[in-house]
Amino acid sequence: YELGVVIGKTSIEIADLIVNTIASVLEIRMAIVAKITEDITSIVSFYNDGNILRKGDLPLKGTPCGKVKEAKKACQYHNALEHFPHYGFFQEHKINTYLGVPILSTKGEVIGVLSAMDTEQIDFSEEDIELLYTLSRRIAFEWEQEAYIKQIQYARAKLEALYKIAYTLSQSIDLKELLNRTLKTIVEIDFLKLKKDAMIFLLDETSQELVLTAHHGLSEEAIRYDERVKVGECLCGHVARTG
């Protein structure tokens, strides 16, 4: 209930609350919220004997999280070190009992794993497993909300960039100046994460050459080198030829 009414917290803070809740209610030493992306497990929040730690990224293959992803359902292991003898995390923390449930997206894809662990042998009940499923749905909601907000912010940034470029193009100024201003606007768009050196070439159809008409961030040497480029040569020439 407390997690259900929490507002104004980041997904990491929610993950911290979740691992604290798991450790407290199940009376265990360790709990983890981990994200899964392709073949990597990213540990978001790791509760370890009263401390919250960040452990970074770990390989997914051959791990309990990998097994949970494959099964798409709760997986429980006793004598976990014997089941995963080459898993360094279990070796480091001397894990005996492991319980993991998948964190599912609204599309039914496994986007993470919620894990409960201990150095002692513990028999988790159906109620314990259901608690983890309930908490997994909570963090899945947070992650999907964050992704949705990022999509909105990205779309807004694109619209703002297009507006700036359209405004520049609408001005009645010299073509070369117009292209230089447009290029400057493009390289300053944050979400594109472009390098600050950029060029615009115009095609001279008679000589079949690309003429450097606008540039940003180039050295004098680069400007001289790229002043005219034959269609078909280098990358920009290849683009001009192939469309």
DSSP 78-89: SSHHHH-TT-HH
The answer to whether the CB of 216 falls within 8 A of the CB of 198 is: yes
Share of residues in the chain with pLDDT > 90 (%): 52
The answer to whether the CB of 178 falls within 8 A of the CB of 50 is: no
Show the DSSP H helices in 75-219 as ranges. 80-83, 88-93, 126-169, 175-187
- State both tokens at 221: 């040497």
pLDDT at 56: 84
pLDDT, mean of residues 172-176: 80
Determine the Cα–Cα distance for residues 93 and 192; give it in Å rounded to an integer: 42
Tracing tokens 């080459």 back to the chain, one arrives at 86
Q: Is the pTM of this model over 0.75?
A: no
Backbone angles phi, psi at 145, to 5 degrees: -60, -45
Determine the Cα–Cα distance for residues 67 and 63; give it in Å rounded to an integer: 6
pLDDT band at 5 (very low <50, low <70, confident <90, very high): low
Backbone angles phi, psi at 56, to 5 degrees: 80, -150
pLDDT at 226: 85
Please write down the long-range contacts of 160-169, taking CB distance under 8 Å and 24 or more positions apart. 161/185, 161/186, 161/189, 161/191, 161/192
187-228: per-residue pLDDT in tens? 887 777 777 788 999 999 999 999 999 998 888 888 888 889
Tell me which H or E stretch contains 46: strand 40-48
Mean pLDDT, the chain, integer: 89
Inform me whether the pLDDT recorded for 95 exceeds 90: yes
- Residue 98: closest CA among 28, 200, 196: 28
pLDDT at 4: 65
Share of residues in the chain with pLDDT > 70 (%): 96
Residues facing residue 8 across a β-bridge: none
Residue type, 112: G
pLDDT at 117: 95
